[in-house]
Amino acid sequence: MALDTPVRQDPGLASSDPKASDAAPARIALVGNPNSGKTALFNALTGSRQKVANYAGVTVERKEGVLTTPAGRQMRVLDLPGTYSLRARSPDEVVTRDAVLGRLAGEAAPEALICVADATNLRLVLRLVLELKRVGRPFVLALNMYDIAQRQGLRIDLERLSREIGAPIVTTVATRKRGLSELLEQVERLVVPRGDAVDSVWREPSAAEIRAAHAEAQRIFKACVKPPERPDTMTGKVDGVLLHPVAGLAILLTLLFVMFQAVFTWAKIPADAMDHLFGAFGAWTAAHLPPGLLASFVSDGLIAGVGSVLVFLPQILILFFFILMLEDSGYMARAAFLMDKIMGGAGLHGRAFIPLLSSFACAIPGIMSTRVIDNRHDRLTTILVAPLMTCSARIPVYGLIISAFIPPRTVYGVLSLQGLVMFGLYAAGIVSALLVSFVIRRVFWRGAVEPFMMELPTYRWPEPRNLLMNLWTRARIFLERAGRIILPLMVLVWVLSTFPYPPPGATGPAIDYSIAGRIGHLVEPLMRPIGFNWQMTVALVPGFAAREVAVATLGTVYAVGGDADSHAALSTLLQHQWSLATALSFLAWYVFAPQCAATLGVVKRETNGWLWPSVMFAYMLTLAYIASFVTYHVAVALGAG
Partner 1 sequence: MSEAFALSPDFNSAESRAEVPRSLGLARRGDRGVIVKVTGVSGAAEAIDAQELERRLLEMGFVEGARIEVLHEGLFGRDPIAVRVDDTRVALRRREAGAVAVKFDGR
Binding site for partner 1 (CB under 8 A): 84-85, 87, 89, 121, 123-124, 127, 205-207, 210-211, 214, 235-236, 239, 243-246, 248-249, 333, 336-338, 340-342, 344-345, 350, 375, 377, 447-457
Annotated binding residue 503: no
DSSP 173: B
HSE-up of residue 517 (Cα within 13 Å, Cβ side) = 17
Annotated binding residue 572: no
Closer to partner 1 at the Cβ: 380 or 549? 380
67: β partners: 75
Query: Minimum distance between the CB of residue 445 and partner 1, rounded to whole angstroms?
Result: 10
Beta-strand relationship, 112-118 and 26-32: parallel
Closer to partner 1 at the Cβ: 244 or 268? 244
Q: Give the separation between CA 428 and CA 590, rounded to whole angstroms.
A: 11
Q: Give the separation between CA 181 and CA 382, rounded to whole angstroms.
A: 43
87: left (phi over 0), alpha (psi -120 to 50) or beta: beta
Report the sign of the C-alpha dihedral through residues 12, 16, 18, 23, in that order: negative
Closer to partner 1 at the Cβ: 438 or 452? 452
Annotated binding residue 304: no
* Neighbour count for residue 207 (Cβ, 10 Å): 7
Query: Minimum distance between the CB of residue 231 and partner 1, rounded to whole angstroms?
Result: 8
3-state secondary structure of 172: coil
Query: Minimum distance between the CB of residue 213 and partner 1, rounded to whole angstroms?
Result: 9
Query: Minimum distance between the CB of residue 344 and partner 1, rounded to whole angstroms?
Result: 8
Closer to partner 1 at the Cβ: 77 or 336? 336
Annotated binding residue 607: no
Query: Minimum distance between the CB of residue 148 and partner 1, rounded to whole angstroms?
Result: 14
Annotated binding residue 305: no
Annotated binding residue 146: yes
Closer to partner 1 at the Cβ: 223 or 638? 223
Distance of CA 367 to CAs 305, 333, 590, Å?
A: 22, 19, 19
Closer to partner 1 at the Cβ: 91 or 110? 91
177: left (phi over 0), alpha (psi -120 to 50) or beta: left
**Long-range CB pairs of 467-475, under 8 A, 24+ apart, other chains included:** 467/321, 467/324, 467/325, 467/328, 469/43, 469/48, 470/39, 470/43, 470/324, 470/328, 471/317, 471/320, 471/321, 471/324, 473/50, 473/52, 473/63, 474/320, 474/324, 474/365, 475/313, 475/316, 475/317, 475/320
Query: Minimum distance between the CB of residue 585 and partner 1, rounded to whole angstroms?
Result: 36
Query: Minimum distance between the CB of residue 215 and partner 1, rounded to whole angstroms?
Result: 8
Annotated binding residue 57: yes
Annotated binding residue 599: no
Closer to partner 1 at the Cβ: 163 or 341? 341
Count, residues in the chain: 641
Report the sign of the C-alpha dihedral through residues 149, 155, 156, 159, in that order: positive
Q: Give the separation between CA 456 and CA 507, rounded to whole angstroms.
A: 66
* Neighbour count for residue 372 (Cβ, 10 Å): 18
DSSP 367: H
The edge-to-edge listing of strands for the beta sheet with 26-32 is 50-54, 61-68, 74-79, 26-32, 112-118, 139-144, 169-171
Beta-strand relationship, 225-226 and 112-118: unpaired
Annotated binding residue 600: no
Closer to partner 1 at the Cβ: 281 or 452? 452
Annotated binding residue 34: yes
Beta-strand relationship, 74-79 and 61-68: antiparallel
Query: Minimum distance between the CB of residue 100 and partner 1, rounded to whole angstroms?
Result: 16
Closer to partner 1 at the Cβ: 131 or 606? 131
Distance of CA 410 to CAs 181, 414, 497, 588, 622, Å?
A: 65, 6, 41, 23, 35
Annotated binding residue 38: yes
Closer to partner 1 at the Cβ: 249 or 510? 249
Query: Minimum distance between the CB of residue 101 and partner 1, rounded to whole angstroms?
Result: 18
Closer to partner 1 at the Cβ: 67 or 354? 354
Query: Minimum distance between the CB of residue 227 and partner 1, rounded to whole angstroms?
Result: 8
Query: Minimum distance between the CB of residue 209 and partner 1, rounded to whole angstroms?
Result: 9
Residues making up the annotated binding site are 32-39, 43-44, 46-47, 57-61, 79-82, 144-147, 173-175
- Annotated binding-site residues for GTP read 32-39, 57-61, 79-82, 144-147, 173-175
- What residues are designated binding site for Mg(2+)? 43-44, 46-47
